[in-house]
Amino acid sequence: MVKNLMVWSKVILSLADKLSQYYKACDKEIDRRCSFEFITQNPQEGTYNSLVKLSELVEKKKSFIVIKLIIDEAFSYLEKEEIKFLKLRYIKGVSYNRISQKTGVPVSSCFRCVEKALNKFCYILDKCGYNEEYFQNVFGNDDFFLGQKNSIEAGIIENKKIFELRKKKKGTLEKKTHESYENLKSSAIKILQENNRNYIAFN
């Protein structure tokens, strides 16, 4: 699975719950900029700049609609349980512990269920024509969506660092435990040998 497609998948899922809010915000800003009050109070904007800004807002509105349609299309091919895991983890931002409580699935299994659902979601996007190149062309030049993508990527890097640190700590602890065990074993053998020598000497 293409790494960047996985990132874009997380981006659109993270926006899913706020699409209506963003859409309305664009509408409100368009109405504000088209009002007589705004035009008279901001003559420095100029006709050209105003049209450019309005065009950008309209395009952004269309982008939010497109994301909604893409998610709906992909979800139509997923099982209900797969959708539930994706919604909880990426749309609602629920922790794995909380997902476990809500679904009754062990935490370790929750991670696998989420990962499997996300991989399938990405596969469906790719098969429907929403590949990495599509997302880059449609959303990659917009500061808003690019910022969301950068944020997701930063989160992935941070999580990887945390995972590696935990793995390192676990390895250090296992090494210390092994060394302690070997030292204890060596001491026990010495005690047994000493006891054995004393027993022989006594008899």
DSSP the chain: --HHHHHHHHHHHHHGGGHHHHHHHHHHHHHHHHSHHHHHH-GGGHHHHHHHHHHHHHHHHHHHHHHHHHHHHHHTTS-HHHHHHHIIIIIS---HHHHHHHH---HHHHHHHHHHHHHHHHHHHHHTT--HHHHHHHHTT-HHHHHHHHHHHHHHHHHHHHHHHHHHHHHHHHHHHHHHHHHHHHHHHHHHHHHHHHHHHH-
Domain that holds residue 92: 3-141
Burial 131-156 (b: 16+ CB within 10 A, else e): bbebbeebbeeeeebeebbeebeeee
pLDDT, position 1 = 43
The total number of structural domains that make up the chain:
1
Residue 122: other Cβ atoms inside 10 A:
22
Highest mean pLDDT among 42-46, 126-130, 139-143, 177-181: 126-130
In a domain, 79, yes or no: yes
In a domain, 149, yes or no: no
In a domain, 189, yes or no: no
In a domain, 42, yes or no: yes
In a domain, 37, yes or no: yes
Mean pLDDT of all residues in 18-24: 92
C-alpha–C-alpha distance, residues 188 and 194, integer Å: 10
In a domain, 134, yes or no: yes
Residue 35, φ and ψ in degrees, nearest 5: -75, 150
**Greater confidence, 10 or 38?**
10
Is-contact 19 67, C-beta < 8 A?
yes
In a domain, 122, yes or no: yes
Question: Counting every residue, how long is the chain?
Answer: 203
For 90-144, how does the pLDDT look when each residue is reduced to its tens digit (9 = 90+)? Answer: 999 999 999 999 999 999 899 999 999 999 999 999 999 999 999 999 998 899 9
In a domain, 195, yes or no: no
